[in-house]
Every structure is written in structure tokens, then in C-alpha cells.
Copies of this chain bind each other. A is one copy, B any other.
Amino acid sequence: MPHAKFDTIYRDLREKIEDGDYPFQSFLPSENTLTSVYGCSRNTVRRAIAGLIERGYAQAIRGKGVRVLYRKGQQSAFSIGGIETFKESAARNHLHTTTRVVRFEMIEADDALAARTGFRAGTPLWRIWRLRILDGRALILDKNLFRADLVPGLTRAIAEDSIYQYIEQTLHRTIQTSKRRMTVEHATREDAKYLDLGDYNCLAIIESQTFDENGSQIEWTQSRHHPERFAFEDTATRRPHA
């Protein structure tokens, strides 16, 4: 639980919005009101509200107030908004899942791989391929590369459970930033071999570079998703004259 006050207020407001206490298109209490409600400074309230706005829960209108944009029942079935473990998002959506490790080896980055993944050539890497199975259907093929010096001691068993959990709870290293890129690509023979594609001949691809608490790139991942069960949500705000 983050102890920061603004975060507590953010969560409280978010919950009230999700519960319908502040319904769609209504206005939140003014910042001054919230200031006295929560017994804190206006800046702290503003920071909490900024979080709501950033995540699409509300929109600030100068001179008028902060309007709720959240509507019940319009969110996704399988969202991947933040950085979230496969295990986490599966649990959040009440799905029964298993993971099958289909590749587990140590390699060294060559020039081609380095250019594509952002690692330096010569870096020792774990190469791990994992099949994500939801309700008996193989839907995601994850291709991970972890820097072996930053993630020592990996095993097949850990890969079958949760590598992130190992990184955070055993190695006490933190995942912080992740740059992602989403595309749609033709399915390869390999995809067809591993995934239950049906009559789709394309996949949703997410490539990401992940950085640890020191800003070192710890991971590169390509997730090859069956088109079903894949959805990505996002909120954008337009800055004038960007």
C-alpha cells in the first residue's frame, strides 16, 4: 500500500466513481471542498485528481469543475493498461490459466538481436518462450529475453510460475518503466504450431522493453496474441498546438 496521501485520496475518489457515488457526467466536489473533506492541501487534492484524469476517469473543465467520464460496464474484458503480469491479469478476470515453457536457454546477443531488442551485443541473456493457456486454449506465445546478469538463477520452474514475482520478491529488484509497441502481423508456421489460431492468419504483437529501478534494460519481450481475448485500452488528452 503506497503510503502517499495523494494516492489514498486518488483511490478513494476512484472507488466512489466506480461505485456510482459520482455518476457519469456529474461533477466532483470542488477542490476546495475536497481539501476540507480530506484535511489536506489543495495541491494534494489536485494530484489525486490528476491521477483520475490521466486514467480517463474524469476531465477537468476550467471555471466549472471536474466532470466524471467513467461509465459502468464500458471497460474491457482483458485489459493490459499498466504493467501487469500474466498471472495478475488472468486472476483479475477470473480465468483459469496455465503456462507451458517451450524453450529455456542461455544465449548471447549478437549484432542483429542487439539492434532489434536494445541490448548491447555480447550481453548474456535468458531466452524463454512460454505458452499461455486460458481455459485449455493456447492463446499467447511469449518470447522473453532477460539480462542474465540482472536476473541470475532463473529456472524452468520459476518461468512456469512467475518470473516477475521472482524478480521482485526474491531478487528484490523492481520493474519500473516499460515501453511498448503494438502491431498486427502475419501468423508464421511457428505460431500455427503453438497456438490455436482457428482461421485467423494474423496475430496481435506487443513488443516491450522493460527497465528496472536503476534504469537498466532488464527485459525485452515479444508477446504474440491470438486476436480473440486481446484488447488494449488507453486514454489520450489533447494538448493545444502540440
Chain A contact residues, CB within 8 Å of chain B: 1-2, 25, 53-54, 56, 59, 61, 64, 67, 69, 71, 74, 76, 81-83, 118, 174-186, 199-204, 211, 213-215, 225, 227, 230-242
Contact = CB atoms under 8 A, between A and B. Distances in A.
Contacts of A178: 235-238
Nearest to A215: B67
12 contacts: A2-B239, A64-B214, A69-B177, A74-B118, A81-B236, A175-B238, A180-B233, A182-B231, A182-B232, A183-B230, A183-B232, A201-B202
Copies of the chain in the assembly: 2
A106 B235 CA distance: 28
A237 B200 contact: no
Given A177-B235, A201-B201, A236-B83, A213 B61 contact: yes
A236 B69 contact: no
